């Protein structure tokens, strides 16, 4: 009697593909079914590769991209965050955030040029990787956002640093509402540098490896760049700057309702569904980040805020539950309305000293 044929199991695929050749260090996020969402192990792999290549004479340029055609990186593993908090282990979240923020700062300060190819969905933790690279490329498929207020949270991974430097009150608008940017918006808002059509990305990768003429990474990217269409954010500056200059979220909503532009009233409708606490803290965080000296200071502020949310605020757990666990899309925020927010000073009371990392 013959044994039934058994197919050998396929070895698990690495969640980060790190390879160096032709003078390039290639880092590819490799969880395409999860739109390359980050977990702690992936963060460690990325950091380890950067450590190895920093003093490697055979690597003088790092390219960061994502596997699959859906996006570069959809964010961090917030479901694990939910599990840790609800099981009474909120303190365990610190390891993830410290490692992630150290990686964000590492990319921004890396002595060798980092080129990020933010094709497709790039949100939350994906912004923390691509947004701080030296050369940031987007495509016609790119969708960038800091959507944390949708889950009762606040932008982190250095997002407030970028938001605080956007033109006018665009940073407050993007942070508070979690609005999605296309390529033109991302370049206008300072989240990206170049628009390259997605069908030219392989050519960009090849040219970065050969680097004959022009010899610089920026010069190479410019060979494939296209001019973006006019930014919709730029066209909306009048009502955005007017409304989002208000002191509080409640006043912002009032100003939006008073505007004639349909998009303004639609934005007020969106805000009625978001976490009042998340919006109020985000509004203040972006404004404080605008006055901070550098990215590390913004990351330190964000670390204090995420610990405050994780240890004291029911909205974070409730937002993740509604979006990712039960998926009923019906969060019950506490407090329920912006009018009930008296002060967010407590959220900023425990910002750790800078630097958090070596």
Distance of alpha carbon 171 from alpha carbon 348, whole angstroms: 19
β-sheet bridge partners, residue 143? 121
pTM equals 0.95
The CA distance from 200 to 208, in Å, is 12
pLDDT at 355: 67
CA dihedral 129, 131, 137, 143 (to 10 degrees): 90
Compute φ and ψ for 182, nearest 5 degrees.
Answer: -90, -175
pLDDT of 59: 95
What residue segments make up the domains of the chain, in order of their start? 16-348
User: What is the set of active-site residues?
Assistant: 76, 125, 148, 156
Phi first, then psi: give them for residue 25, nearest 5 degrees. -105, 120
Q: Which letter, b or e, does each residue of 118-155 get, where b requires 16 or more Cβ atoms within 10 Å of its Cβ?
A: bbbbbbbbbbbbbbbbbbbbbbbbbbbbbbbbbbbbbb
pLDDT per residue rounded down to tens, the chain (358 residues): 445 555 555 667 899 999 998 899 999 999 999 999 999 999 999 999 999 999 999 999 999 999 999 999 999 989 999 999 999 998 989 999 999 999 999 999 999 999 999 999 999 999 999 999 999 999 999 999 999 999 999 999 999 999 999 999 999 999 999 999 999 999 999 999 999 999 999 999 999 988 777 789 999 999 999 999 999 999 999 999 999 999 999 999 999 999 999 999 999 999 999 999 999 999 999 999 999 999 999 999 999 999 999 999 999 999 999 999 999 999 999 999 999 998 999 999 988 887 676 5
The predicted pLDDT at position 215 comes to 83
The C-alpha atoms of residue 164 and residue 334 are separated, in whole angstroms, by 27
Cα–Cα distance measured from residue 157 to residue 124, given in angstroms and rounded to the nearest whole number: 7
Res 199: pLDDT: 97
d(CA 146, CA 123): 6
Q: Which residues, listed in sequence order, are joined to residue 24 by a DSSP beta bridge?
A: 21, 61
Q: How far is Cα 10 from Cα 294, in angstroms, rounded to an integer?
A: 45
The shares of helix, strand and coil residues in the chain, as percent rounded to the nearest 5, are: 50, 10, 40
Superfamily of domain 16-348, CATH level 4 = 2-enoyl-CoA Hydratase; Chain A, domain 1 (3.90.226.10)
């Amino acid at each position: 009697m013959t044994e039934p044929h058994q197919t050998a199991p396929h070895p698990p695929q690495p969640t980060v593909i790190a390879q160096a050749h032709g003078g390039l260090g290639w880092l590819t996020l490799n969880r395409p079914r999860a739109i390359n969402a980050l977990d702690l192990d992936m963060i460690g792999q990325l950091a380890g590769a950067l450590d190895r290549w920093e003093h490697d004479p055979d690597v003088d340029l790092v390219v960061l991209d994502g596997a699959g055609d859906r996006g570069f990186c959809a964010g961090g593993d917030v479901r694990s965050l939910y599990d840790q908090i609800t099981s009474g282990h909120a303190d365990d979240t610190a390891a993830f955030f410290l490692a992630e923020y150290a990686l964000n700062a590492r990319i921004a300060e890396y002595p060798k040029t980092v080129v990020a190819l933010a094709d497709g969905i790039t949100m939350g933790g994906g912004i923390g990787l691509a947004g701080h690279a030296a050369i940031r490329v987007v495509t016609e498929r790119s969708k960038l956002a800091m959507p944390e207020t949708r889950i009762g949270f606040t932008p982190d991974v250095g997002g407030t640093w970028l938001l605080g430097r956007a033109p006018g009150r665009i940073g407050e608008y993007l942070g508070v509402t979690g609005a999605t940017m296309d390529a033109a918006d991302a370049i206008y808002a300072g989240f990206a540098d170049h628009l390259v059509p997605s069908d030219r990305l392989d050519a960009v990768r090849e040219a970065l490896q050969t680097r004959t003429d022009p010899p610089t990474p920026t010069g190479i990217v410019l060979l494939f760049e296209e001019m973006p269409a006019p930014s919709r954010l730029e066209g909306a500056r009048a009502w955005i700057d007017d409304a989002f200059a208000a002191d509080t979220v409640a006043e912002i909503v009032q100003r939006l309702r008073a505007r004639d532009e349909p998009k303004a009233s639609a934005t007020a409708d969106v805000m009625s569904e978001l976490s009042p606490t998340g919006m109020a803290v985000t509004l203040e965080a972006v404004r404080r980040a605008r006055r901070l000296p550098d990215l590390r200071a913004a990351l330190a502020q964000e670390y204090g805020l995420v610990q405050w949310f994780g240890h004291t605020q029911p909205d974070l757990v409730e937002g993740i539950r509604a979006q990712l666990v039960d998926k009923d899309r019906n969060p019950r925020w506490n407090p329920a309305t912006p009018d009930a927010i008296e002060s967010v000073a407590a959220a900023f009371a425990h910002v750790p000293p800078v630097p958090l990392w070596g």
